[in-house]
Amino acid sequence: MTLIQTQPRSADACPVHRSAVEVMDAAGPQVCDDMSVEVALALMAAARTGRLVVCDQDEQRIGLVTRTALTAVRDSGARTDRVRLCDILATR
């Protein structure tokens, strides 16, 4: 059995007023920007999440990718084994 530690949330916590860092913390697993689209989609399926926080080589958060965006790239006919997350973020 895996134990999960949770933190209580204040009653007046408003999700509308969260900072970008707080949003990215809650977004999902952190991955490196050189990960391929195919690997990212497989990781999302295994983690049962719809988004990933993308970090650079210095582990700085540089963006967020969603399953919808990655699926669109996969369905576009691009070679998704060669397209990296940094390529997707650069086109935004």
**What are the extents of the domains in the chain?**
18-90
Contact status, residue 44 vs residue 75, Cβ threshold 8 Å:
no
Fold category of 18-90 in CATH: CBS-domain (3.10.580)
Answer with the residue of higher pLDDT: 26 or 81.
Answer: 81
pLDDT by residue (tens digit) across 18-71? 555 555 556 689 999 999 999 999 999 999 999 999 999 999 999 999 999 999
Residue 90 reports pLDDT greater than 90: no
pLDDT band at 80 (very low <50, low <70, confident <90, very high): confident
